[in-house]
Structure 1
Amino acid sequence: MLDFDYLLHQIGGIGRYQTLIFLMISFYAIPSGLNTLSPVFISYSPAFRYSYDTVACQERLDLSCVNTSKPTLQCDEFHFDRDIFTETTVTQFQLVCQRRVLNSVGSSMYMAGLFIGALVFGNLSDILGRKLAGIVGAYGTLFSMLAVAYSNRVEWFIVARCLTAAFVMGTTIAIFTHLMEIVDSKWRTILGISYQMIFAVGYMIWSAIAYLYRDWHDMQLGSIVVSAPLALIILCIPESPRWLFSRNKDRQGKKVTNSMAKVNRIKLSDAIWQNAEMSDGKTDCQKKFSTIELFRHRGMAILTIKLAVNWCVNSMVYYGISLNAGSLAGDLFLNNIYAGIFEIASFIVVILLMDRVGRRMLLTITLTGAGVALLTSTVVNEYAEGVQVLVSTGVVLAFIGKAMVAASFAIVYNFTGELYPTVVRSNGLALGAMTARIGGILAPYIISLQDSISWLPNTIFGLSAVVGGLLSLTIRDTTGMVMMENMDEAEIFYAGGDIVKRKSVSSPSRAYDNNGAVMMDESATSF
């Protein structure tokens, strides 16, 4: 097995190759954001009236003409306010009254689809490779999105959304893992968080799509058009060389690594390849690990449980706030953009502080801070009583809470990728994503509690965030460490030991220097 960290140091922790791969991989964050938060628009629930005489409204588009003095009828006739959207899933499938629960079911099934995708693609990505898993997931995403657009029954809509979610998560796991594997620890933070920023851009695009197209079918087709370039981009992304070496596919790994070096204008000499040879005879690369492996060893099992709780809380709070955006005071389209701006700002702060403050401490600060902001917002809203200053303060605090939990969510993605060795890294990310979906599945039902007790949902979200943030303090930090390759290194780290530079380098004096790395002539290759 070859020491890819040593090779990466010779090639450069970041360069033209990694930048190009990042740009291609990060495009997928746009359809990911579009799909995940589409219910804010396509499932918008407008005001409606039912069980009244609406004969006088036949030539009117508003609700002012409804005769409310007539006796109420059964809850089976509806007149929707279509001033904002001409058709949404709520109006087409009449998801009100007794059928209202189907709206929550639809959102929960999307989260269940993410769970399924994490379960299936986590193993596929580690067994078949990042590239193949990414291709299957990307094309599955596009075709499932098309199925959503042409759904004419709520049952088909829910199933199509569930499939979309499975492929969205599958692709995300494969390509995000790939991204983390081709850059050094310093750049993992910047690129990993930047990927999350583009996710925010993805859902911000919904404001433009929904403003132009007011029928949910047209909105969905618009999101497909925006996502379509993915079909070509995903084919151009090569396999992760770190994964190839971890699977003992040295020939293919060397080919991709040489391509990396060529694009970065570095020539890898024979001496470098000899130094990269692992001398300790590790055999993990020849094994196939499943998610169960995360619980076989005490140190890894304890870590996995802590991360599972953290992922669950992050997801529940993030999607709880996001899916309830329609209930915030103000303009729906602008609120969506404001939320994205706050989120991107929080990511910039994370990039600036993550390597200085550390993963563990920043995760604790952001998640706990999100909880405090939500709890404060809840108190302010309860006592606002129409006072505009208090109403606006409550909205701003909600945006701050969303921005902080988004930052926390981005940190836990990076943190998890660094806490597991290469041979089970995708499994670890997949399990985290699966447990996150438990929180995501619960979020719509917790939101529905506001119909009975207005302050209860945000109280649950806020308290959960505080508990999850404090739990993060018990996880060991990974700031600045080399990525673990195998189970032996992982157990040493979990037991409190340090991962040192590997024995692949022939002499200490040459450890991780650039001896043998020759800069290529500028005209030798083009980017």
Structure 2
Amino acid sequence: MDTTKKKPGNKIDVDNLLNSLRPRGRFQLTQYFLLASSFVACCASFLKLLFIAYVPETTCKRLTDSQLAAFGYEGNVTDGITYQSCSIQIYNRNSSQNETLSCINGYAYSMNKYKSFVSEWDLVCENGYLSELSQTLYAIGCFVGAFIIPIFSDKYGRKPAHFISFVLLLINEMILPMVRAYWVFALLRLTEGIFNYGMVMPAYSTMLELFPGSIRTVFAASSGIIWGSSMLLMSPLAYLCRNATWRISCLVFGIIATSFFFEFWFVEESIRWLITNDKLKATRKIVKRAAKENKVNFNEVWEKCVVVCKTMMPMQEKNGEPVPEAKVEDLGVMTLVRDPLARKISLILIFNALMNSLTYYGIYMTAAELAGNYYLNFFLTSIMEVSGNVFMLFILRKFQRRTTMVCFQSFSGISLIISVVIKFAIEPGAGTAVANKVFTLLGMFGISASFCVLWLYAPEVYPTNLRNSGLGLMGMGSAFGNMIAPFSRYTARHIAWLPSTIFGVGITLGSFFLITLPESKDTQMPTTMDDVRKLKTEYKFKSRPKDTLVS
């Protein structure tokens, strides 16, 4: 048995292998778009509540004749009675006093009661917070999923985490429209958040790990465009269901998760994850399939891989196959806390993920408060998201990641602050309503691009065995912002200027923190924290690094 020794600390150059397979080959593109199709299910899971939890105009139901008689009224005489949204103002003829009654007979709605679960379960007035609570519970589920699933994904693989979560999400979606009690619905929204995040996070990691650093930017940015396009589909879908009950609409949105069946048979495990975790037998199988689909010579590619492994890892031969003796540096989750640079990166990224998420989803949540048609406002907001991501794709080719994030975040923050000033510091009119909508949409343009770059940047500054855990922490920050975002709609009804002010100030502050982080443009993904420190050092003195090892 022959053993090839090497110096400790060397790593496998996976980018070299991926380039040998043709980085834009049929295999990579097929895997990329299959995984990206799960974005549609993810968007449907989150945004459906904006359409099935619509809050209609509400008034108290009228008092009966016997109830009116108790206040001294006879016949059809109703002078002195005012039916409001949450109370009844009535003049008591017996005591000659004005009284305020609750809606003792329930509520009357401006639309079919069963078009929204808010009206079906009377989640208005003193129970109004419950409609927003269901979305907050969903965000709590996302928070839990962002903590648990990445650990599972880093240990057992991207594919198991993705598909187990996808199946559970589909089951959850099929049960949700059938529930008859609000609290059961709210509990299912909690589990839906866990499964949805567990489904999309490993998918996104795998999508990025398909490509070498030289073209990763293009495909990461393209994922933002696909995400925005998925959001764009929700408005016409909701419009088509506008006359259906909320249960039918919920089922239509849930059926999208059946795309799982198309993915399952074709999506493979991440080659990068397999090699990092010394699973070379599984790697060989996938590389063979990739070589066949990309029409390259498998033997040449595999021999190149074996040579790389033998020169960069201690290897043994067993039945003609390379078997590693040593593993890539095993980094525990606590490294994110103990290592000063990892801790700094994580805290800044968590804060920015929180503010980006809060602003991004908050703008969607408050779309109904803008002037004009609700469905049209949502559609225009989605259009601005796609436009921002397309523009960002071209900008990223010329500028650094940090510069791009800072510019887009600052642009969004300033636009949202201007929208507040226009709406509340200038005399109201048709022109101010339009200007307010324009600057709010510009805020979405900036934050959607910033959010996309943030998720492109983060995987590039975490080492391989911390990557999903780091993304998980970011996901927790994002989920916390998502958790708060539903109440921006509730807040906007009472303190209309507050949500956009918080959005604008928060993301502008976050952009200053981003300047202190290492740059990752034109680099390969790091394997160890030393590689991350190398990124920070090289960009202090050079416009771009010469080389960085990858896993």
Common fold, TM-score beyond 0.5? Answer: yes
Distance 1:501 1:287, change over 3 A: closer
Tell me, what secondary structure is at the counterpart of 2:372? coil
With 181-190 and 163-172 compared, the bigger mean Cα shift is at 181-190
Q: Report the AA paired with residue 78 of structure 1.
A: Y
Tell me, what secondary structure is at the counterpart of 2:485? helix
Tell me, what secondary structure is at the counterpart of 1:38? helix
Out of 262, 269, 290, which is 1:232 matched to? Answer: 262
Distance 1:118 1:290, change over 3 A: farther
Superposition map of 1:478-517 within 5 A: 478-496=520-538, 500=547, 502=549
Tell me, what secondary structure is at the counterpart of 1:37? helix
1:246 pairs with 2:293: no
Structure 1 residue runs of 5 or longer lacking an equivalent are 56-64, 505-527
Out of 189, 196, 209, which is 2:237 matched to? Answer: 209
With 380-389 and 106-115 compared, the bigger mean Cα shift is at 380-389
Out of 54, 68, 87, which is 2:115 matched to? Answer: 87
User: For 1:20 and 1:189, how far apart are their aligned partners in 2?
Assistant: 18
User: For 1:91 and 1:458, how far apart are their aligned partners in 2?
Assistant: 28
User: For 2:236 and 2:458, how far apart are their aligned partners in 1?
Assistant: 34
User: For 1:118 and 1:128, how far apart are their aligned partners in 2?
Assistant: 16
| Residues 11 and 260, structure 1, Cα contact 8 Å, conserved in 2 | yes
Match of 1:277 in 2: 309
Q: Report the AA paired with residue 31 of structure 2.
A: I
| Residues 284 and 487, structure 1, Cα contact 8 Å, conserved in 2 | no
Q: Per-residue deviation at 1:66?
A: 8.0
With 439-448 and 96-105 compared, the bigger mean Cα shift is at 439-448
Tell me, what secondary structure is at the counterpart of 1:45? coil
Q: Report the AA paired with residue 309 of structure 2.
A: E
1:142 pairs with 2:175: no
Q: Per-residue deviation at 1:67?
A: 5.8
Q: Per-residue deviation at 1:352?
A: 0.8
Match of 1:50 in 2: 60
Q: Per-residue deviation at 1:446?
A: 4.3
1:22 pairs with 2:32: yes
| Residues 235 and 378, structure 2, Cα contact 8 Å, conserved in 1 | yes
Tell me, what secondary structure is at the counterpart of 1:229? helix
1:261 pairs with 2:291: yes
| Residues 527 and 549, structure 2, Cα contact 8 Å, conserved in 1 | no
Distance 1:261 1:139, change over 3 A: same
| Residues 31 and 267, structure 2, Cα contact 8 Å, conserved in 1 | yes
1:418 pairs with 2:460: yes
Tell me, what secondary structure is at the counterpart of 2:59? strand
Distance 1:365 1:38, change over 3 A: same
Match of 2:502 in 1: 460
Deviations 1:225-248, CA, capped at 9 Å, x for gaps: 333222331342011111000001
1:155 pairs with 2:183: yes
Match of 2:317 in 1: none
Superposition map of 1:26-45 within 5 A: 26-45=36-55
Q: Per-residue deviation at 1:122?
A: 0.6
Match of 2:320 in 1: none
Superposition map of 1:291-370 within 5 A: 291-370=333-412
User: For 2:548 and 2:458, how far apart are their aligned partners in 1?
Assistant: 21
Structure 2 residue runs of 5 or longer lacking an equivalent are 1-10, 66-80, 91-99, 315-324, 540-544
Percent identical residues: 23
Deviations 1:504-524, CA, capped at 9 Å, x for gaps: 9xxxxxxxxxxxxxxxxxxxx
With 402-411 and 253-262 compared, the bigger mean Cα shift is at 253-262
With 167-176 and 194-203 compared, the bigger mean Cα shift is at 194-203
Distance 1:79 1:128, change over 3 A: same
**TM-score w.r.t. length of structure 2:** 0.84
Match of 1:78 in 2: 107
Distance 1:400 1:134, change over 3 A: same
User: For 2:48 and 2:254, how far apart are their aligned partners in 1?
Assistant: 12
User: For 2:218 and 2:507, how far apart are their aligned partners in 1?
Assistant: 24
User: For 2:254 and 2:475, how far apart are their aligned partners in 1?
Assistant: 24
Q: Per-residue deviation at 1:433?
A: 0.4
With 19-28 and 198-207 compared, the bigger mean Cα shift is at 198-207
Distance 1:189 1:391, change over 3 A: same
1:11 pairs with 2:40: no
1:477 pairs with 2:519: yes
| Residues 49 and 80, structure 1, Cα contact 8 Å, conserved in 2 | yes
How many pairs were matched up?
Answer: 494
Tell me, what secondary structure is at the counterpart of 1:79? strand
Q: Report the AA paired with residue 265 of structure 1.
A: K
Out of 393, 413, 427, which is 1:371 matched to? Answer: 413
User: For 2:62 and 2:444, how far apart are their aligned partners in 1?
Assistant: 39
Q: Report the AA paired with residue 500 of structure 1.
A: D
User: For 2:133 and 2:538, how far apart are their aligned partners in 1?
Assistant: 44
User: For 1:38 and 1:243, how far apart are their aligned partners in 2?
Assistant: 34
Point out the structure with max Rg over C-alpha: 2
Q: Per-residue deviation at 1:52?
A: 4.9
Distance 1:191 1:284, change over 3 A: farther
Distance 1:82 1:503, change over 3 A: closer
Q: Per-residue deviation at 1:501?
A: 5.3
Q: CA RMSD in A?
A: 2.5
Tell me, what secondary structure is at the counterpart of 2:355? helix
Q: Per-residue deviation at 1:410?
A: 0.8
1:175 pairs with 2:203: yes
| Residues 289 and 424, structure 1, Cα contact 8 Å, conserved in 2 | yes
**TM-score w.r.t. length of structure 1:** 0.88
Out of 407, 430, 438, which is 2:449 matched to? Answer: 407
Q: Report the AA paired with residue 547 of structure 2.
A: V
Q: Per-residue deviation at 1:51?
A: 6.2
Superposition map of 1:425-436 within 5 A: 425-436=467-478
